[in-house]
Amino acid sequence: MFKSIRGTKDIFQPEIFRWQRLESIVHKVMKNYNFTEIRTPIFEETSLFARGIGNETDIVGKEMYTFKDKSDNSLTLKPEMTAAVVRAFIQHNLGEIRSVNKFYYISPMFRQERPQSGRLRQFHQVGAEIFGVKNYTADGELIILAFDLLEQLNVKNLELHLNSVGCQNCRPNFIKKLVEYFEPIKEKLSLESQHRLNKNPLRILDSKDEKDIEIKQNAPSILDNLCDECKSHYEGLKDFLLKNNISFIENPYLVRGLDYYTKTAFEFTSSDLGAQNAICGGGRYDLLVEQLGGKPTPGVGWACGIERILLASEKYEDPLENRLDVYFVIQRQDYKIKAFQILRELRKNNFTCEMDLLDRSLKAQMREANRLNAKFALILGDEEFQKNSVIVKELVSGHQEEILLDNLLDYLREKINFTNGKN
């Protein structure tokens, strides 16, 4: 028997309803913020990610799914989305069409890391990017967008961690200070951080190893080493967030796992996720478009893990939210055509409906209506068929009424709107 590959999963009911609800909310919130959806291919040239993300990152060094096609081209299943969006932005000259571009996406990603709760080898992200705005208002809008979206998705106990990672002018001097601090004590660092000391010292600050955490407590802070432009940008962003009632924790160790970040770096966490509490992260990447062959264009963006959103929000959601509105029960199979005609009209008016397709008894049909957690059973018996009516039974309370078919639509609209505000 074939089984799904380790680190992947099949998604079907009832879980699929949670995914559909999430996607529906994402589309609505993004439209309100005037972001337009972008979809890119599932694989790209390997060099796009190597140049964009950085050769010394864990993603490029350890986690990418890379393969050769029949033309001997090296291709990679996309491990993240920003580089792919930037490629599309450059290729289609989107910066020439409008000065500010605001994109969002919902997409699968692929990384060959150890599967764990909320982290799979095929995982999914929702993300947002803004191109063309250099000042901190774009950073602020994106952070507020992420906060509003997560709130609507029932993610609770959120904390925003904020930092600046400087720019090409001030970061080299800071990295030099980091190396000078860590070099005399490098034998005390984890093996991974010892390697990073020579290749990417900034990433030591992001280490979760207990030895590294203790050692980096006295390391130089990047916030004390920002140039005037980066400091002004960071202070402006903090003021912008506070004036919009968004609280944050300054975290000078937050550098994120990608090399392309400049200035702003941020991360949302939720204590409902336990130790691995990150749910959304992003930052500014003013050099990336030019680095990948485009015209100099500032950019800023974030990505949230959909599996992690669902994990964090699970206990706050109504398990009956996706209940069936109507289950149609017929006394005789001769009434099936009539029932289908009624159901079609209800479905056209946005009611979720079902009926028996297995020619079961009336009692078995009622059991099925209860098993599916339907709100109402519509019962078409001999008398109702003659009178052009149905019995409408509310399954939770047991209350039932006979309703003429001419009045059924209005009756159900009022009833279901009263119970859950659906229509």
* pLDDT at residue 375, as a whole number: 96
On the 0-12 / 13-18 / 19+ scale of CB atoms within 10 A, 190 is middle
Check whether residue 244 and residue 392 sit in a common domain.
no
* pLDDT at residue 55, as a whole number: 61
Structure confidence at residue 51 as a pLDDT band (50, 70, 90): confident
Check whether residue 297 and residue 379 sit in a common domain.
no
d(CA 205, CA 375): 54
Using a cut of 0.85, tell me whether the model's pTM lies above it: yes
Answer whether the bond into residue 184 is a cis peptide, omega within 30°.
no
Q: From the CA atom positions of the chain, what is the Rg in Å?
A: 27
pLDDT, average across residues 272-288: 93
Nearest CA to 328 out of 345, 342, 315, 311 is that of: 342
Structure confidence at residue 421 as a pLDDT band (50, 70, 90): very low
How many independent structural domains does the chain possess? 2
In a domain, 385, yes or no: yes
In a domain, 332, yes or no: yes
Q: Where are the alpha helices (DSSP H) in 314-380?
A: 336-348, 362-371
Find out whether 170 and 230 touch, Cβ atoms under 8 Å.
yes
Query: Measured between alpha carbons, how far is residue 233 from residues 132, 171, 271 in Å?
Result: 16, 15, 29
Find out whether 286 and 263 touch, Cβ atoms under 8 Å.
yes
Secondary structure in 3-state letters for 90-154: HHCCHHHHCCCEEEEEEEEEECCCCCECCECCEEEEEEEEEECCCCHHHHHHHHHHHHHHHHHCC
Find out whether 285 and 133 touch, Cβ atoms under 8 Å.
no
d(CA 205, CA 223): 13
Helix (H) or strand (E) holding 29: helix 15-32
d(CA 140, CA 306): 22
In a domain, 175, yes or no: no
Nearest CA to 163 out of 88, 237, 251 is that of: 251
Residue 212: count of CB within 10 angstroms of its CB: 23
Full strand arrangement of the beta sheet holding 43-45:
43-45, 74-77, 66-68
Check whether residue 54 and residue 148 sit in a common domain.
yes
Find out whether 108 and 120 touch, Cβ atoms under 8 Å.
no
On the 0-12 / 13-18 / 19+ scale of CB atoms within 10 A, 399 is exposed
CATH, residue 381? 3.40.50.800
Find out whether 279 and 304 touch, Cβ atoms under 8 Å.
yes
d(CA 14, CA 18): 8
- Tokens 């993603």 sit on residue: 59
Q: Which of 36-45, 150-159, 210-219 has the lowest mean pLDDT?
A: 210-219
Report which residue type is found at 113.
Answer: E
Separation of CA 226 from chain center: 32
Residue 257 pLDDT > 80: no
Q: Which of 284, 316, 348 is the last residue of a domain?
A: 316
Check whether residue 402 and residue 254 sit in a common domain.
no
Residue 319: count of CB within 10 angstroms of its CB: 9
pLDDT, average across residues 282-308: 96
How crowded is the C-beta side of 231, counted as CA atoms within 13 Å? Answer: 9
Structure confidence at residue 31 as a pLDDT band (50, 70, 90): very high
Check whether residue 157 and residue 278 sit in a common domain.
yes
How confident is the model over 345-401, as pLDDT tens digits? 999 999 999 999 999 999 999 999 999 999 999 999 999 999 999 999 999 999 999
Name the region of 118 (left: φ>0; alpha: ψ -120 to 50; beta: rest). left
Structure confidence at residue 321 as a pLDDT band (50, 70, 90): confident
How confident is the model over 77-123, as pLDDT tens digits? 999 999 999 999 999 999 999 999 999 999 999 999 877 766 799 99
In a domain, 192, yes or no: no
* pLDDT at residue 384, as a whole number: 97
Check whether residue 131 and residue 239 sit in a common domain.
yes
Average pLDDT in the chain: 93
Check whether residue 330 and residue 243 sit in a common domain.
no
CATH, residue 302? 3.30.930.10
In a domain, 39, yes or no: yes
Q: Which of 295, 316, 337 is the last residue of a domain?
A: 316
Check whether residue 308 and residue 360 sit in a common domain.
no
Report which residue type is found at 38.
Answer: I
Whether the CA torsion 196, 198, 201, 205 is positive or negative: it is: positive
Check whether residue 264 and residue 141 sit in a common domain.
yes
Domain of 360 in residue numbering reads as 326-420
In a domain, 142, yes or no: yes
Check whether residue 353 and residue 311 sit in a common domain.
no
* pLDDT at residue 416, as a whole number: 86
Residues in the chain: 423
Find out whether 162 and 238 touch, Cβ atoms under 8 Å.
yes
In a domain, 216, yes or no: no
Check whether residue 374 and residue 264 sit in a common domain.
no
Structure confidence at residue 423 as a pLDDT band (50, 70, 90): very low
Rounded to the nearest 5 percent, the helix, strand and coil shares of the chain are 45, 20, 35
Check whether residue 301 and residue 330 sit in a common domain.
no
In a domain, 338, yes or no: yes
Q: Which of 316, 348, 378 is the last residue of a domain?
A: 316
pLDDT, average across residues 27-32: 98
